[in-house]
Structure 1
């Protein structure tokens, strides 16, 4: 519950000012501004994607080795990838994506934009609530010297959940990347109620 609340607070601290400033100033990005914001958005997405892919590969690596120190090192790197690549990449892509939506397309004007921010929020909350917990549980289980990692049921459960969770997040990020390029759905028909 604490992870959810901290994540919600961070998301609100990013989303509310970006949307408020954009709406109050009626921001419209020109072509040059839009290109630079897209570049920054793509860089944050690359950071995010690289961290998730690294976590997936390292967790996959732990399935095939027996050396306790290597397994611990892999999970230690997974934790640092989470802190220094995934979290800033996810929050940066959220902030730049919202700014692009406010200044170029509108937050709720296009179906593909709505799907992108819902997908990004889903991965952010899933990662902070579940994946972060599995990382900590795996490291804790590894720190107990009474079990070898491959005989420790707590570690094995966390390992499998990390692998599955990373695969889910990777799949969502690939889907969101495809949506960004293809823009498969058109503009929503909005009622102009007075």
Structure 2
């Protein structure tokens, strides 16, 4: 993919961060509603909590998760970070893909079922807890950028220098 120009890269980065933070906030909201539905003794509050979760699941979960996945993919392919050059990007990609798939194929149907039945369901406390933890982990990884290059990243870096010497982690200066 052709490298993104600076204005496009910055705009896409804003979109990616905004939808990623939205996905975290949405998960925390679903967690609060799931805990409320599971912990209350009031059946009407349980049903109302699951109906509210269904509104979020029907209108927000899929677009937010797919936008986070798509914007992250375009950013990785259109910037020097690359998709499979750095371990932190590669790990974020797979976690995002897994959580987006789980959201679409497992969480949404489970929320729809709970909204129809209105009976407390512990899985609707567990799922948002796991997803919120995953998004917090990905946020930390995005900020800290740990783990260095993948094997592919090392090969690309060596190929780019043409000298067989490794490049410094964040520059194009050959290291000693």
Matched residue, 1:11 = none
Deviation at 1:112, TM superposition (A): 0.8
Q: Does 1:137 align with 2:99?
A: no
For residues 132 and 122 of structure 2, what CA distance do their matches in structure 1 show?
15
Deviation at 1:180, TM superposition (A): 0.8
Q: Does 1:92 align with 2:67?
A: yes
Matched residue, 1:167 = 129
Deviations 1:93-140 (A, max 9, x none): 111101100111211111111101100011111222222232122123
Matched residue, 2:57 = 82
Deviations 1:3-56 (A, max 9, x none): xxxxxxxxxxxxxxxxxxxx3xxx212343322211110111122112111110
For residues 23 and 57 of structure 2, what CA distance do their matches in structure 1 show?
9
Of stretches 128-137 and 85-94 in structure 1, the one that deviates more from structure 2 is 128-137
Deviations 1:157-185 (A, max 9, x none): xx201100110111111111111111112
Match for residue 109 of structure 1 among 73, 81, 85:
85
TM-score (norm 1): 0.73
For residues 109 and 36 of structure 1, what CA distance do their matches in structure 2 show?
23
- SS of match in other structure, 1:63: helix
Deviations 1:57-114 (A, max 9, x none): 0011123323322221211110111122221111111111011001112111111111
Of stretches 57-66 and 34-43 in structure 1, the one that deviates more from structure 2 is 57-66
Flag structure 2 segments of 5+ consecutive residues without an equivalent: 160-176
Of stretches 57-66 and 107-116 in structure 1, the one that deviates more from structure 2 is 57-66
Flag structure 1 segments of 5+ consecutive residues without an equivalent: 1-22, 143-154
Over the residues paired in the alignment, what is the CA RMSD in angstroms? 1.8
Matched residue, 2:150 = 188
CA contact (8 A) 2:57 2:111 kept: no
For residues 189 and 89 of structure 1, what CA distance do their matches in structure 2 show?
32
Question: Which has a greater percent of helix?
Answer: 1
Structure 1 segments (4+ residues) deviating >4 Å? none
Count of paired positions? 154
Q: Does 1:39 align with 2:46?
A: no
CA contact (8 A) 1:54 1:81 kept: no
Matched residue, 2:102 = 126
